[in-house]
Structure 1
Amino acid sequence: MHDRSASVDWAQYTAFGLRIASELKLPELVRSASEAIEDVVIHEADLTAWSDQLEQANFVMQGERFMFQIPGTAIFAVREGREIEVCPYPGADMDTVRLFLLGSCMGVLLMQRRILPIHGSAVVIGGKAYAFMGESGTGKSTLAAAFRQAGYQMVSDDVIAVKATTSVPVVYPAYPQQKLGLDSLLQLEALQGNKYLHSPKHRLVLTDGHPALPQYGDLRKLTGELNKYAVPIADEFYNEPLPLGGVFELVAEASNRKFLREDELPVVTEQPLNVLGCLHTLLLHTYRRGTISRMGLGEWYFGTAARMARKVEGWRLLRSSSAFTASEIVQRVLELIHKEENSYGSH
């Protein structure tokens, strides 16, 4: 473990079920007052000796250290699930450095600790965490935000940390922030009158002064993310581990099914997933799954996903790509979970 210098002002945080000591300030994370020994250390280091090798490949394995670079931003090294080294390039935007630190680096670190990172959002329903996965643009974060508007707490956005146990898989909370696009913010605003949703406690406003949302308070635009904003969710964040109750795969479907006019199509339809379907969904939506073979974790990865798939319920939700359907999906998800709980209760 890195020898921490007494001259550096180290900050203590918690995220993904881990105690983190960081030389870099990480305002997105929950501060910790605990004096317990940290699980992870994050610090700056000179990694420029690896620049030439990283120019030739996206990733480099150097012993137990997984290294990658983001041109113009930083070189990162993640070691043994316990240490992250950061070498920012001169003039680098530190918001962008933290974006990759809390995303790609944490995804690799979780896998090194044998915790499966799922790409999606998770909310708390009935004392369990439910994961929402899907390709980019299918509405994962927007749906999670709609659940927040409906009074449900959020566990994570972007990276869902899931640990396989002998009983049920456990989800560890990430940190109280969402990434939402401008379109989603506008559409969520339009949902305020929906009977399934309530008004949020706080009003937020875009920092670039977008005229469409003059009633909002300051939101930080995410550098390197096209029209995405950092939305703080401290009041709606659940910061304790939870059992994984189920998985939902979101699929945006064009409204062109044969023999049906568009106005006859259901806005949301669901398909239950069997064990193989759940396994395929977990494998497909693993965060940064392209790095797994490079780290030699293929056998662990498949075995872990298979164990999880046998212990959770799963559904594929098909939504119309021509309409914003978050409120309808919220309603349908709650109905499916309630039906599943009643089904178990009847046995």
Structure 2
Amino acid sequence: MKIYKAYNLHIASELEMPELTEADGEPDIVIEFGKISNNTIIQNNSGDYLFGEMPDIGKFAFQEGRKVIIEPELEVDESLLRVVILGPLLCVLLGQRGLLVLHASAVNIGGQAVAFLGGRGWGKSTLATAFHTSGYNVLTDDVLPVKITLQKPLVFPAYPQFKVWEDAAHSLGHNTDHLSFIYKNSPKFSYKFSDGFQQTPLPLYRIYVLDKGEEHQISNVQPQEAFVNLVRHSRAISSMTPQNILTQHLQQCTQLVQQISFRRFTRKPALEDIPELVKMIVNDVLETSKGKQEEKINV
């Protein structure tokens, strides 16, 4: 097994993961192949294991955030299997380890993590790639794990890869002839990078809830709406999620709403305006930070 580093964890995997950075250390998570039978499920129904299945991909058994056993379908595409491992499967393991896992990207602005929350196709990866092109360090492209603490919530960095649409890649100056698809017949390209990756955790300062509209606009989000969006855009929360993890998740969402600020970022679908969007967000973050500092001085 090779050992990799992602999400502030050492991950040992029987399947090679070229998307990840190799590392040394004792594994926190083990990914291995094995047979998952009905007897396996019956013998481990006390709660030690969580079982799942994806059509045409395989069966999975998750053990307390420390291990996932995979029984893949015959002839499943290896690149697609890696996408599933790095996405849904790791989301389950991160959730079992007590992290709040969101469908969001995040960048480093002024030494703090600023995140973009939204569904598929809402522009999370495009914004993260645009910030990277503009010289900002990126923490994560799609899976955002947050450690909720009594002080500041922390964002753990993922791995140095973007998943970008072809038109977005072109608009940001990337030649897709030099990029490969994430998996066979995927609509997105894989863009790997080394410089500009934030390798250490950062405190989470703000979440921008992405929306589409007729003009570019940043506005306030009320706490109740922020909570609804956190729940809506959570990763690995489904009908098979154990009640204790679901309860913990809702408590984490409530605490996060109380700890950080939320803003709605509405944009019209114009890729040529992306540099302007980066400036809008940076100015909004810096103006708010300056206002808070002045408030502290006046107090």
Question: Shared topology, TM-score over 0.5?
Answer: yes
**Aligned match for 2:277, one of 308, 329, 347:** 329
- Aligned pairs for 1:18-57 (under 5 A) are 18-34=9-25, 37-47=26-36, 49-50=37-38
- Aligned pairs for 1:186-197 (under 5 A) are 186-189=170-173
How far the C-alpha of 1:285 sits from its partner, in A, is 1.2
How far the C-alpha of 1:119 sits from its partner, in A, is 0.3
Q: Which protein shows a greater Rg? A: 1
**Aligned match for 1:274, one of 216, 222, 244:** 222
Counterpart CA distance in 2 for 1:31 and 1:246 is: 31
- Aligned pairs for 1:3-152 (under 5 A) are 10-34=1-25, 37-47=26-36, 49-50=37-38, 63-152=47-136
How far the C-alpha of 1:223 sits from its partner, in A, is 2.2
* Unaligned 5+ runs, structure 2: none
Q: Which amino acid aligns with 1:301?
A: H
How far the C-alpha of 1:45 sits from its partner, in A, is 0.7
Aligned position for 2:201: 241
Task: Identify if the C-alpha distance between structure 1 residues 50 and 236 changes in structure 2 by more than 3 Å, giving closer, same or farther.
Answer: farther
Q: Which amino acid aligns with 1:20?
A: I
Counterpart CA distance in 2 for 1:125 and 1:82 is: 32
Counterpart CA distance in 2 for 1:184 and 1:126 is: 25
Task: Identify if the C-alpha distance between structure 1 residues 62 and 90 changes in structure 2 by more than 3 Å, giving closer, same or farther.
Answer: farther
Q: Which amino acid aligns with 1:111?
A: G
1:165 aligns with 2:131: no
Counterpart CA distance in 2 for 1:157 and 1:61 is: 35
Counterpart CA distance in 2 for 1:238 and 1:149 is: 14
Q: How many percent of aligned residue pairs carry the same amino acid?
A: 29
Counterpart CA distance in 2 for 1:92 and 1:70 is: 12
How far the C-alpha of 1:292 sits from its partner, in A, is 6.7
How far the C-alpha of 1:62 sits from its partner, in A, is 7.0
- Aligned pairs for 1:245-324 (under 5 A) are 245-253=205-213, 255=214, 267-291=215-239, 293-294=241-242, 296-321=244-269, 324=272
Q: TM-score, normalised by structure 1?
A: 0.79
| SS of 2:142 mapped into structure 1 | strand
Aligned position for 2:138: 154
Q: Which amino acid aligns with 1:246?
A: R
Aligned partners of 1:246 and 1:314 also within 8 Å:
yes
Aligned position for 1:192: none
Q: How many residues align?
A: 292
Aligned position for 1:340: 288
Q: Which amino acid aligns with 2:208?
A: F
